[in-house]
Structure formats: structure tokens, C-alpha cells
């Protein structure tokens, strides 16, 4: 299994964790003082990070609602973090869901959060190992892979380096899923703001743990949908992907530092 980023399961709960930092930014309750301190350090170097996180999560909600409207009732959420603050089973309470995260402490806490929901499982596994995920007991007992499944890969692939061959990894998942399955994906993109923010954080807080990022250009993100039918409105800046009526609009949504889309396997 790959070494988790800021993994409390390895280094102890006194250290911060990306999943709990996200929970903090999303207004959840499953985070520690260490997570709040790191979140403050990150925001001092990159003030837009909480907004980026919330925009990805709002995209998740819109994707899940569209999929349920299409009749999809099975979800495999890779790199899910903690199942809180508007995550899949809260948006689609009648669906079967398997959450997947590589961090054993996050997975343990995730299991506790969803323990009372018989439709939801939490798997500790590396999303870059499709065989281990798809053959797991959690997937086999919660999902029926002979029927359509929505594969969600949201706000996580920028943590997966090119050496892990993420395009090939997603192709293996797609090959294993039934026709009528879908891929929902969002990705923070490579732009001067994100690169400058990472560099500034490293200069200001060299003693803090910093994950390695693989910010990609939008045209590279489009390639993750190869072989699938990309649905309207395409792979676009996240605020432009079917915004909810009355949703507060970004002043310049076309400049958002991330894109996403939804595609179908025919």
C-alpha cells in the first residue's frame, strides 16, 4: 500500500491529515486542532484553498443528483476522505456506496461514521490498485458489478503522480464496470496560482508536511475520459458544470483552477 499523505494511522493522531483538513474547510465536525492549525498555515499561503475544496464538493453533489436522476443507485467513490459534509450517501440516501481511502486512520473513522447504514461500506485501499478495490469484500458485498456503477474520482487525482499511470488505472476500472456505468471526475489544474501557492507554502512553512501535487492541464484531464461518452456540458471549469439554480456564481468561472465532467460507458 502506498504511504498515506500526513497519515495519522502511521504517525499518530497529533499530526494533521488531508481528509480532516478538508472536513474542516467543508464545515464538518471530524477534525482536530492539528488539522485546524495546518489549515490556517495553508490558507495563509493560498487563501483560495477552502473555496477550491468547497467547489469540488458542490460539484460532487450536482454529479450525484444527476446520476440518481438517470437511475444510478450504486457509487464507488475513490479517494473519498471522510464521508461527511454532503458526501455521496447523504446526497443519495437510497443508494449503495463504497468509499475508498488509502489512509487507515481515515478509513477507520469513516467506518465508524457510516456504521449504522447497511447500504454503505468503507474500504481502506489504494485507488491505484483497481484489482484490490474491485475484488474487495466491501465492493463485492455492497455493489453489484453486473449492473451500472458510478465511479467517482473527485478532488483526488492531483495527488496521483504520472508514474502511477492514472490514465491506465481509470481505464482498468472502466473495463471492469458494466455498460451504463459512469465516471465522474474533478481535478485541480496546473496554473500559475496553484504553483505559486505550493512554492509559497514551502518557503513559509518548511517544517510542515507537504504532499506532492500533480496539477495537470485541462487537456490532460480530458484524457481521463478516453473511451467514454462525455455528457453535456463536457469537461469544463467546475463552476460551469450545471450550476444549481440560484447558486452564487463565481465572478469569472471560466478561470476556476479546476475542471470536471461526467461520462458514460456505452
Axis crossing angle, helix 33-45 with helix 192-204, rounded to the nearest 10: 120
CA-based Rg of the chain, rounded to a whole angstrom?
17
CA dist., res. 212 & res. 210, Å (int): 7
Measured on CA atoms in the order 106, 109, 114, 120, is the torsion positive or negative?
positive
Count CB-CB contacts under 10 A for residue 82: 26
**Whole-number pLDDT of residue 211:** 56
**Which of 18-22, 99-103, 208-212, 234-238 shows the lowest per-residue confidence on average (mean pLDDT)?**
208-212
CA dist., res. 59 & res. 243, Å (int): 8
Q: Is 257 within 8 Å of 193 (Cβ atoms)?
A: yes
pLDDT digits (tens, 9 = 90+) for 170-182: 999 999 999 999 9
136: CB partners within 8 A, 6+ apart? 123, 125
For the chain, domain boundaries: 48-264
Q: Is 211 within 8 Å of 242 (Cβ atoms)?
A: no
pLDDT digits (tens, 9 = 90+) for 138-148: 999 999 999 99
CATH number of 48-264: 3.40.50.150
54: CB partners within 8 A, 6+ apart? 25, 26
Amino acid at each position: 500500500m502506498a504511504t498515506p499523505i500526513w497519515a495519522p494511522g502511521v504517525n499518530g493522531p497529533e499530526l494533521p491529515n488531508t481528509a480532516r483538513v478538508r472536513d474542516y474547510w467543508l464545515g464538518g465536525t471530524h477534525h482536530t486542532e492539528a488539522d485546524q492549525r495546518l489549515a490556517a498555515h495553508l490558507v495563509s499561503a493560498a487563501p483560495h484553498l477552502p473555496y477550491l475544496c468547497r467547489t469540488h464538493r458542490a460539484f460532487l453533489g450536482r454529479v450525484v443528483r444527476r446520476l440518481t436522476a438517470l437511475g444510478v443507485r450504486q457509487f464507488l467513490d475513490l479517494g473519498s476522505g471522510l464521508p461527511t459534509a454532503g458526501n455521496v450517501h447523504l446526497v443519495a440516501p437510497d443508494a449503495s456506496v463504497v468509499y475508498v481511502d488509502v489512509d487507515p486512520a481515515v478509513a477507520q473513522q469513516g467506518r465508524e461514521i457510516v456504521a449504522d447504514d447497511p447500504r454503505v461500506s468503507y474500504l481502506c485501499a489504494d485507488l491505484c490498485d483497481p484489482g484490490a478495490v474491485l475484488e474487495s469484500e466491501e465492493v463485492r458485498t455492497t455493489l453489484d458489478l453486473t449492473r451500472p456503477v458510478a465511479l467517482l474520482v473527485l478532488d483526488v487525482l492531483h495527488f496521483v503522480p504520472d508514474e502511477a499511470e492514472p490514465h491506465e488505472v481509470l481505464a482498468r476500472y472502466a473495463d471492469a464496470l458494466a455498460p451504463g456505468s459512469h465516471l465522474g471526475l474533478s481535478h485541480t489544474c496546473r496554473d500559475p496560482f496553484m504553483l505559486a501557492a505550493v512554492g509559497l507554502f514551502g518557503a513559509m512553512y518548511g517544517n510542515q508536511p507537504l504532499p506532492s501535487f500533480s496539477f495537470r492541464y485541462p487537456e490532460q484531464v480530458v484524457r481521463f475520459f478516453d473511451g467514454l461518452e462525455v455528457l453535456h456540458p463536457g469537461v469544463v471549469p467546475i463552476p460551469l458544470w450545471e450550476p444549481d439554480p440560484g447558486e452564487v456564481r463565481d465572478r469569472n468561472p471560466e478561470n476556476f483552477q479546476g475542471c470536471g465532467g461526467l461520462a458514460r460507458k456505452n
